[in-house]
Amino acid sequence: MMEINPLSTSASSSIQTFIDNKTKPVASLGKLETLAKQLALIQYQRQGTSDLNLALLPKLSLAKPSVLIFAGDHGINEENVSIAPSAVTRQMVLNFLQGGAAINCFCQVSNLKLAVIDCGIITPITESEAMLSKAEVEFIAQRIAAGTNNFSKQAAMSIAQVEQCLAYGKAIALRQIEQGSELLLLGEMGIGNTSSAAAIMSALTGLTVDVCVGRGTGITDEQLSKKTSLIEQAIARIDIDLQQQPSAQVIYRIVSELGGFEIMQMVGAILASASRQVAVVIDGFIVSVAALIAQKLDKHVTDYLVFSHVSQEKAHALLLEHIVGKGRDVALLDLQLRLGEGTGAVLCYQLLLAAIAFYNDMASFDSAGVTV
Ligand SMILES: O=C(O)c1ccc[n+]([C@@H]2O[C@H](COP(=O)([O-])O)[C@@H](O)[C@H]2O)c1
Ligand SMILES: Cc1cc2nc[nH]c2cc1C
């Protein structure tokens, strides 16, 4: 396990004073102020900046942001728990590589590069398909298997596969950070993954399955009740002891039972990023479940997370409440999104840029001669 330092708050009051001295009424930039403060605390800690001098607070930067989209398939999808067959995961991966998905359009708006990671879709992408990728899209194969097992019948994966997922996820995050990335933005693609995510949420929080499930891609009432009972059965099968702070071993067991490959690779990426004191933007419901797992493995991870939006997926607001204790208010946006792919995270990128811009460049009352 990697060591994650909690964010030191020793610079907190200097940063707050610096923000309050900007030419604006106190707190009038709302969540952008909280965001700027979090990004400042993270960056100063990463740079080991101590004894901060109010007049010379280092500028904030978010160099080389990395958008990472983790894709994987789910055996549970053979139970008709999504609007789409599993083949759509692969088709959407090809769409990402060709630049035709929503996430491509949003990356384009902000000039962001995107990497798509095959964590275990059913049919691998061929070399010639990967070669046709747009220049701004990188394809990386970190396959565990051809989709997880159907978790309503058996464990989604082995403990060894959980460990391999974590190792792969960490490796890709560390590679980006070593190449100079000061921000990770995570997204996912996986038909059936709201079933896995809801099951893990229920198992790790103790909340009942019916409050953790939702309509995912937009399933019918009938599909929703089937999805709920399949998840209930799976959780009953694994007979979990819901302790306050479960050990890593217990967590590995839960996630091996309930899946999925892309979710666990994201957990590895989140842990690695936090260990290097790099902020991670968390997209919708499924990425938030990865954040929940990471938090259960190491509570300090939470200091490094930025939650982009509150998803339309029914349980997302409750999940955010569980992770951060501030419910939907912790999220930057509420645009009624429920797409995934990292779309919310990438939309927030401009808000992060705005937060560091005001922090770095806005005049103070003193420097501008504004007197209130
Ligand atoms: O990000 C979200 O909150 C979100 C909410 C609902 C669905 N999704 C996306 O839809 C897929 C999972 O939905 P489902 O119905 O197949 O379980 C997967 O590819 C996700 O990216 C994403
Ligand atoms: C078409 C489609 C695109 C997606 N993007 C993320 N999840 C998705 C699910 C479907 C079905």
33: annotated active-site residue: no
Cα dist from 367 to 18, 40, 75, 117, 140, whole Å: 12, 21, 61, 47, 49
Q: State ipTM.
A: 0.99
pLDDT bracket for residue 166 (50, 70, 90): very high
Partners of 72 in beta bridges: 120
Among the ranges given (128-132, 205-209, 236-240, 354-358), the one the predictor scored with the smallest mean pLDDT: 236-240
Decide: 336 and 310 in contact? Cβ < 8 Å. no
190 lines ligand 1 (CB under 6 A): yes
Nearest 5°: phi and psi at 257?
Answer: -70, -35
**What is d(CA 68, CA 139) in angstroms, rounded to the nearest whole number?**
10
Ligand 2 residue neighbourhood (C-beta within 6 Å): 84, 88, 92, 189, 217, 339-341
Q: Whose CA is nearest to atom 6 of ligand 1?
A: 216
The pLDDT of residue 60: 98
The pLDDT of residue 1: 63
Nearest 5°: phi and psi at 308?
Answer: -70, -50
Ligand 2 atom nearest to CA at 82: 11
Nearest 5°: phi and psi at 265?
Answer: -65, -35
Pocket-testing residue among 339, 343, 346, ligand 2, by greatest number of atoms within 8 A of Cβ: 339
- At 225-241, the pLDDT tens digits run 999 999 999 999 987 77
311 lines ligand 1 (CB under 6 A): yes
Average pLDDT of the segment spanning 70-90: 98
Among the ranges given (47-56, 127-136, 246-255), the one the predictor scored with the smallest mean pLDDT: 47-56
Pocket-testing residue among 69, 88, 311, ligand 2, by greatest number of atoms within 8 A of Cβ: 88
Pocket-testing residue among 76, 150, 193, ligand 1, by greatest number of atoms within 8 A of Cβ: 193
Q: Locate 73 and state its tokens.
A: 């398939």
pLDDT bracket for residue 371 (50, 70, 90): very high
Find the ligand nearest to 91 CA. Answer: 2
CB-facing half-sphere around the CA of 229: CA atoms within 13 A: 7
**Mean pLDDT value across the chain:** 96
Q: Whose CA is nearest to atom 3 of ligand 2?
A: 92
Find the ligand nearest to 218 CA. Answer: 1
Q: Is the pLDDT of residue 148 over 80?
A: yes
The pLDDT of residue 328: 80
The SS3 of residue 206 is coil
Q: Which ranges of the chain does DSSP label H, i.e. alpha helix?
A: 12-20, 30-47, 87-98, 102-109, 127-131, 159-178, 193-205, 209-212, 221-238, 248-258, 261-275, 285-297, 316-324, 343-361, 365-368
The pLDDT of residue 53: 76
The pLDDT of residue 320: 98
Average pLDDT of the segment spanning 57-61: 95
Ligand 1 atom nearest to CA at 84: 16
For tokens 């190792």, what's the residue?
167
**What is d(CA 234, CA 199) in angstroms, rounded to the nearest whole number?**
8
- pLDDT exceeding 90 applies to what percent of the chain? 91
Q: Is the pLDDT of residue 50 over 80?
A: no
Q: Is the pLDDT of residue 171 over 70?
A: yes
283 lines ligand 1 (CB under 6 A): yes
**What is d(CA 349, CA 3) in angstroms, rounded to the nearest whole number?**
27
Residues 6+ apart with CB under 8 A from 48: none
**What is d(CA 111, CA 319) in angstroms, rounded to the nearest whole number?**
31
Q: Is the pLDDT of residue 205 over 70?
A: yes
Q: Is the pTM of this model over 0.90?
A: yes
Domain ranges of the chain: 66-355
- At 92-147, the pLDDT tens digits run 999 999 999 999 999 999 999 999 999 999 999 999 999 999 988 999 999 999 99
- At 257-306, the pLDDT tens digits run 999 999 999 999 999 999 999 999 999 999 999 999 999 999 999 999 99
Question: How many whole angstroms from 195 Cα to the centroid of ligand 1?
Answer: 9
The pLDDT of residue 327: 72
pLDDT bracket for residue 317 (50, 70, 90): very high
Q: Locate 149 and state its tokens.
A: 């097992």
Ligand 2 atom nearest to CA at 341: 6
The domain made up of 66-355 has a fold known as: Rossmann fold (3.40.50)
